Amino acid sequence: MEPRRQKATARLILIAFAALCIGWLACLDFAAKISTNVLDLIPAAEQAPELALIRGFANDVQARVMLFVVEDPATPGVPPRAAAQRLAEELRRQPLFAEAVVMGDEAAQNALGRQIYEHRFELLLPAWLGRQHRAFAATGQPEAKFSNWLAERAATDLEAFLSRPEAAAMQDLALSDPLLLVPGLAMRSQGLTSGGAGAGGHALVWARITVSPLAEAGQGPVFAAVDSAFAQVKATHPGVRLRWTGINRFAAASRARIESELRLLNAASLLAVLAVSCIFVRRIYKLLHLMPVIALSLLGAWTIATLTFERLHILVFVIGSLLAGVAIDYGFYIFMQPSLTPDEPYLSKLRRLLKPLLASCLTTVIGFSLLLFSELPLIRQIGLFVGAGLLCALGAAMLYFAQLERPQLEGREWGALGPGRATPWLQRSLRFLFGGAMAVALVGPWLLHWRDDIRELDIPSPELHANEAELRSLFGENPDSGVYLTQGSSAAEAREHLEEFLADEAKLAPKSTAASLGLVLPTAADWQALGPRLGELRDFAPEFHEALERHGFLADSFQPFFVAWEQVQRHPPDGAYEGLAKSLDGMLSGPLALLSNLHGPNFWFLTMTSEPERVAVPPALHTVGTSQLQSLNTLFSRYRWSALRLSLIGLALVIGSVFAIYPFRRGIRIALIPAGSCFFVFGLLGLAGSTLNLFNLLGAFLGVCLSHNYAIFSSDNASAGTAPPVSIRLSALCTAASFGVLGLSRIPVIHALGMTVALIVLTALMAVELESLARRSR
């Protein structure tokens, strides 16, 4: 092909590619495409239903709750309830708010209390009778004595109840409920320390928003709605102050911080690369020729990743921006390789460099392709982003430099350790050094500690966390208590599982008290047994009357109960269990509605225990603690091993490809440099007592692929006994500088990734520079 035609074709391909990519990206709705939600890092089809439940609970239920605290400094100790009522009214007027209620709103609570009391025979009696039946069965007495036994036991329980502190407040209730169905439920549920509405002079407002707090619509517009509502409150209550919290505050702050981090790191990375280039490149302006290569590589990576995945996590772009450090390698290598003759055509030069370029790029792409098989979406996304970006970088570099008349970037050779400097003393020292490094690489990694914490994906925001903790404590949340979700495929199954979980909890922690809305609902078995059990209790009323008298009660005082009992015996509650669950669901609103899901598709009950949450609940109980961070940490640890397995297979493939392309001795060298650098760095970190995570592992994989490039690009020089090309030094130092900058990130995982890559790349560069000196005989 003629040089001119060749140039035009290359330009056309590049322009068409860029136009296609820009066209696609311009049409994208980035807000919908890019997620900042850490829960999106979990596979949507994660097999454990409990994790799917937590994901749903956290995303759809808990995350939409916003808590507001109103206080008036002018009247300390007096909760400004009128201002809180006004705030709730104003919030309810905003379309972004589905509900807003003042905590301690006695009208709403009274309504629920009344409903539970009125339906006590449907809701509470079946479970009470079931418990008594089981207790009676344990005594081994004949079935015929059950009614009498029950009458005596109920009277005994009522007598004991009168000594309890609650008795004075509930004495009138006991007249119509001497079986203590409602007081019993209240006592079982009050076993937890709870703060109170109005405690400490604060009025509390609980609200639920209609949109996801993780989406843009659930942040800025909601904040504006809160400001607007509070402005209305201030008009009538000028002195009041408002504090509030919600997941959307964290999400917005996190997004802002990541964006700012991205800008800062990219700028710092560019400056670091420029600084390194100034040292090694004679005409610095010529580096601008590398920009289109990097830009096209990133453009291609963004396009292919967004085309492939329906939703991408923002961390892919943070980590993916480092692709620039890898993509620049091919540009440097082509651009800095001197022509064999002054008039060597570009195509001929490219043919000469094609083998190391393809070997380097394709083997790295094979390695990253393996990440596509990871269970973790983030790793799959990074695998595709980097793999596609590398292919685009290589293509763009080859096509871009075809347009230059003389693609040649002159480098400074200073600093190179040429063959003339290989004195015996230096060789001995270097061999000793390599021996030591090998020892570190073999021993150190065994001393490493691994731990994954999903919180490291974000920059900590102590002020928001402190505000959240304070507000939640005012709302009565106790960080020392356990919170669990028990699920089932139907209300009946979820309730059955809850019964099993509560029994297990009672066995494991007998002193623990558990409160759950599920206690208001009987199990399906108890519900179905209610009719027959009532049928067996025909003589219960007179027997209970007698028992009450024996225990010092004026039994006739309980006439309201005996009338109601006769009614319930005559017409026992019946109907489908689903209908009962639905009727309970209909009674719930506000915060109470978030304590269960009785309308599917995932049915669950939330349980709070006075004891701290268990580390692991047996899977058979279908219950999971809601300290989702811990659950996700375990999940991440599992994915780390999956990533390690894939990385090792990828590494084996990369090394296998090298041996397929290069002779054995050169293959050994090319394989040892990246692998040795990686193990040496892990060894150093192990000896330093560091704790690594999934992202150190990903960094190591990236570092190995980069080192692999240097080993390949320096292979010809090593065989010829000459110093490695300056392009490797420049490329490695640029990469180390840009990843080193990432090591300064406040996001712990980015810090881990940056430091690992920078250390491995520097080690590989040292190995490439020194190994030929160490093994060369005089």
Partner 1 sequence: MNPFAKTLGLCCGLLLAARGASAADANLPVGPETLLADPAHDPAWRELFVRLAVSKTRQSQFEERRYFSFRKTPVILQGEIRIVPDRGLSLRYLKPEDRIMIVDAQGLLMRDDEGHERVAPADSRARAVTDALVSVLRFDLPSLEKSFSVHGRSDGDAWTLAFVPRSAALADLVGVLAVSGQGFVLEKIELVRTPSQRIEILISHTQEDVIFSGDVLDRFFR
Q: Which residues bind partner 1 (CB under 8 A)?
A: 103-104, 106, 109-110, 112-114, 116-117, 162-163, 165-175, 182-183, 185-186, 189-200, 472, 475-477, 511, 513, 515-517, 552-554, 557-558, 590-592, 595, 608, 610
**Smallest separation, CB 163 to partner 1 (Å):** 5
* Eight-class DSSP state of 281: B
Taking CA atoms, 464 is separated from 202, 479, 706, in Å, by 19, 16, 39
Q: Which of 698, 40, 750, 756 is nearest to 370 (CA)?
A: 698
**Smallest separation, CB 631 to partner 1 (Å):** 20
What single string gives the DSSP state of each residue in 438-459? HHHHHHGGGG-EE---GGGGS-
**Smallest separation, CB 317 to partner 1 (Å):** 36
Angle between helices 694-713 and 377-401 (to 10 degrees): 20
**Smallest separation, CB 109 to partner 1 (Å):** 5
For residue 418, what is the enclosing H or E element? Answer: none
Q: Which is nearer to partner 1, 156 or 423 (CB)?
A: 156
| Paired strand residues for 207 | 66, 100
CA distance 319 to 383: 11
Q: How far does Cα 699 stand from its chain's mean position?
A: 19
**Smallest separation, CB 556 to partner 1 (Å):** 9
Q: Which is nearer to partner 1, 591 or 656 (CB)?
A: 591
Collapsing DSSP to helix, strand or coil, 138 comes out as helix
Take residue 3 and report the two structure tokens written for it: 């040089």
CA distance 323 to 656: 24
Over the range 377-409, which residues count as b (16 or more CB within 10 Å of their CB) and which as e?
Answer: bbbbbbbbbbbbbbbbbbbbbbbbbbbeeebbb
Do the bridges between strand 623-625 and strand 482-488 make them parallel or antiparallel, or are there none, so unpaired? antiparallel
Q: Which is nearer to partner 1, 49 or 104 (CB)?
A: 104
Q: Are 723 and 772 in contact (CB under 8 A)?
A: yes
CA distance 454 to 635: 9
**Residue 272 CB partners (closer than 8 Å, separation 6+):** 734, 737, 738, 740, 741
**Smallest separation, CB 204 to partner 1 (Å):** 10
Q: What are phi and psi of 501, to 5 degrees?
A: -65, -45
**Smallest separation, CB 601 to partner 1 (Å):** 23
**Smallest separation, CB 50 to partner 1 (Å):** 21
Q: Which is nearer to partner 1, 236 or 589 (CB)?
A: 589
Q: Which is nearer to partner 1, 103 or 272 (CB)?
A: 103
Q: Which is nearer to partner 1, 363 or 481 (CB)?
A: 481
Would you say the C-alpha torsion 274, 275, 279, 282 has a positive or negative sign? positive
Q: What are phi and psi of 691, to 5 degrees?
A: -110, 125
Take residue 422 and report the two structure tokens written for it: 């290989």
**Smallest separation, CB 197 to partner 1 (Å):** 6
Residue 637's identity, in one-letter code, is: S
**Smallest separation, CB 385 to partner 1 (Å):** 41
**Smallest separation, CB 192 to partner 1 (Å):** 5
**Smallest separation, CB 191 to partner 1 (Å):** 6
Q: Are 231 and 123 in contact (CB under 8 A)?
A: no
Residue 180's identity, in one-letter code, is: L
* Eight-class DSSP state of 69: E
Q: Which is nearer to partner 1, 180 or 319 (CB)?
A: 180
**Smallest separation, CB 249 to partner 1 (Å):** 18
Q: How far does Cα 41 stand from its chain's mean position?
A: 6
Q: Which is nearer to partner 1, 515 or 753 (CB)?
A: 515
Taking CA atoms, 187 is separated from 7, 514, 518, 587, in Å, by 84, 10, 15, 20
Q: Which is nearer to partner 1, 191 or 656 (CB)?
A: 191
User: Which residue's entry shows tokens 């160490």?
Assistant: 774
Taking CA atoms, 371 is separated from 58, 326, 368, 384, 644, in Å, by 28, 17, 5, 8, 10
**Smallest separation, CB 240 to partner 1 (Å):** 19
Q: Which is nearer to partner 1, 314 or 491 (CB)?
A: 491
CA distance 694 to 681: 16
Q: Which is nearer to partner 1, 164 or 451 (CB)?
A: 164
Q: Are 594 and 61 in contact (CB under 8 A)?
A: yes
**Smallest separation, CB 731 to partner 1 (Å):** 56
Q: Which is nearer to partner 1, 226 or 519 (CB)?
A: 519
Q: Which is nearer to partner 1, 172 or 343 (CB)?
A: 172
CA distance 770 to 767: 5
**Smallest separation, CB 573 to partner 1 (Å):** 20
Q: Which is nearer to partner 1, 96 or 592 (CB)?
A: 592
Residue 372's identity, in one-letter code, is: L
Burial category of 85 from C-beta neighbours within 10 Å (exposed 0-12, middle 13-18, buried 19 and up): middle
Compute how many other C-beta atoms are within 10 angstroms of the C-beta atom of residue 195: 17
Q: Which is nearer to partner 1, 195 or 748 (CB)?
A: 195
Residue 18's identity, in one-letter code, is: A
Taking CA atoms, 691 is separated from 243, 494, 702, 703, 745, in Å, by 38, 40, 19, 18, 17
Q: Which is nearer to partner 1, 159 or 536 (CB)?
A: 159
**Smallest separation, CB 167 to partner 1 (Å):** 7
Q: Which of 612, 623, 586 is nearest to 504 (CA)?
A: 623
Q: Which is nearer to partner 1, 194 or 429 (CB)?
A: 194
